[in-house]
Amino acid sequence: MRLLVKYANRLLCQTAAPVPLRQKASAAATGSLKLATSAQTEPERANKQDSPLTDTFGRHHTYLRISLTERCNLRCDYCMPADGVPLQPKDKLLTTEEILRLARIFVEQGVRKIRLTGGEPTIRRDIVDLVAEMKALPQLEHVGITTNGLVLTRLLLPLQRAGLDSLNISLDTLQKDRFEKITRRKGWERVIAGIDLAVQLGYRPKVNCVLMRNFNEDEVCDFVEFTRDRPVDVRFIEYMPFSGNKWHTDRLISFKETVELIRQRWPEFEALPNGPNDTSKAFAVPGFKGQVGFITSMTEHFCGSCNRLRLTADGNIKVCLFGNKEFSLRDAMRSNVSEEDLVDLIGAAVRRKKRQHAAFSPRHAEPLADGKSPNDTDRRLADTSRPSTIASAALFHHHLHSHRSQLLQAARHCSSLSHVNAQGKAQMVDVGEKPTSMRLAQAEATVLVGERLTQLIAANELAKGDVLSVAQLAGIIGAKRTSELIPLCHNIPLSSVKVQAQPLANEQCVRLEASVRCTGQTGVEMEALTAVSIAALTVYDMCKAVSHDICITNIRLLRKSGGKRDYQRREQS
């Protein structure tokens, strides 16, 4: 199984290095490297609260990490077995076109920095082309990469020509024998050569080192010494234990302990200024060309300023490294949803981001409640069932389509109805002569799920993902597609679709309510009813792995207004 350490090493670290060969190297002469922060324009400040990339705590996400592959050319013993791990079929992974499409959508919504990760991203044959295509995206300011450095001496120059702005290099030891033992591969010299080549080409690479007690704590000062003559940023990452890796919290070496160890040799070791979204606490030894950073994900989390999102190789958006709740953008794209719906899905995921990660208590370093690793491979092995955002809508559409002929045949015997002409053939009602007005409809549905599922849904602990947000989005998509699902319904441009999903503990159910509005010549009650129906089916789809004892009931119109006859449901006393 892959362990969290590798993904902490590759995914958790933020890079804010200046653009190579595009800025003057004056910082190298000062003896320390100051981390740059992206400038933000006034329009961006004004609009970010309305952006789908802004969560409910006001954090605006401008940084996206994209995993290009699950594969790796190392076999680190804390990361995977010697013979590797099972990989997903190629058709389950994002294609190059899908990666670039999602990158463009994220940039259009406000992402300004993209980091390419893995697995090991440099084993992608089209890595250079991917960097070039992303650098061509308007408004994208920065493209970086996180790599193990094995092939940098061959690829770095082409990557730089393609526009690569920065790179992180994972290296947990400066000892050749120890490197070969832990990675089960040769290549330590190539990694060091890659770091030196990056410096020669004008980069200021970050060297990511996960500190582990009884493994490399004796190299802390060696890594600091590594910054004496090299303008690099060595970043010590706190080891993140969890129950799945069978390692214990005593392997954690805290930020404060590491600083004290360094100051025993360099008492003048001093803190440097940090940017508002920096994950790393910057330090340096005066006179050294490089600097040292500390990523304190365990002892001093930085969730309050987190501006990062992640896209897995199989197309799931993750809003937190520690979270196991994901949304499949791949499935949505392959179901031909509109880009507007994709943006809605992204926004729904971001809005469900918690105030801070709950994987560990900073004080006690408690493991994940379910004992699972939040990295891609462990998640895939533990749960092979992945929900499609609009699977329920597709199922509903298929069901109605298969019965359309029966519906039309029945209509022939109802020639007195407005949907049937004088010859007994189905027709749409002509609404061309009706006045245009503001039309509003509200509908509700109830999904009886039982006590256990109500608790799991409320706590957002179902393995398939966030039931409430996915149901809300599916309901919105369903409302927009009512004319495709219900024969003879008009295709109405909707002004607004709102779907609310609320678990009710006392009633052991999920209550769904939809409000649909348009300005037009016909009402939207069918759109409201379709929205709650699709949302209810989605709740069932995402909960059926736990129990099939689920009942969808009470689908009904609550009120409508704006037409010839308004309606308001009156509850029976």
Kindly list the catalytic residues: 541
Over the range 308-340, which residues count as b (16 or more CB within 10 Å of their CB) and which as e? bbbbbbbbbbbbbbbbbbbbbbbbbbebebeee
The H or E element containing residue 210 is strand 206-211
Exposed, middle or buried by CB within 10 Å (0-12, 13-18, 19+), for 178? Answer: middle
- Number of residues written out for the chain: 573
CA distance 185 to 177: 10
Structure tokens at 515: 């409000």
Q: Are 536 and 451 in contact (CB under 8 A)?
A: no
Classify 365 in phi/psi space as left (phi over 0), alpha (psi -120 to 50) or beta.
left
Exposed, middle or buried by CB within 10 Å (0-12, 13-18, 19+), for 24? Answer: exposed
Sequence-distant (≥ 6) Cβ neighbours of residue 54 within 8 angstroms: 48, 60, 61, 350
DSSP SS3 for 304: helix
Residue whose entry in the numeric block shows the structure tokens 């995206």? 137
CA distance 419 to 430: 9
DSSP SS3 for 10: helix
CA distance 362 to 364: 6
Which sign, positive or negative, has the C-alpha torsion 198, 199, 204, 210?
positive
Q: Which of 219, 260, 371, 275 is nearest to 17 (CA)?
A: 275
CA distance 516 to 500: 12
Which sign, positive or negative, has the C-alpha torsion 324, 329, 332, 335?
negative
CA distance 111 to 104: 9
- For residue 399, the tally of other CB atoms under 10 A from its CB is 11
Q: Which of 206, 202, 88 is nearest to 147 (CA)?
A: 206
State phi, psi for 459 to the nearest 5 degrees. -90, 0
- For residue 503, the tally of other CB atoms under 10 A from its CB is 21
Q: For residue 263, give the amino acid letter.
A: R
Structure tokens at 540: 């069932």
DSSP SS3 for 66: strand
CA distance 89 to 395: 24
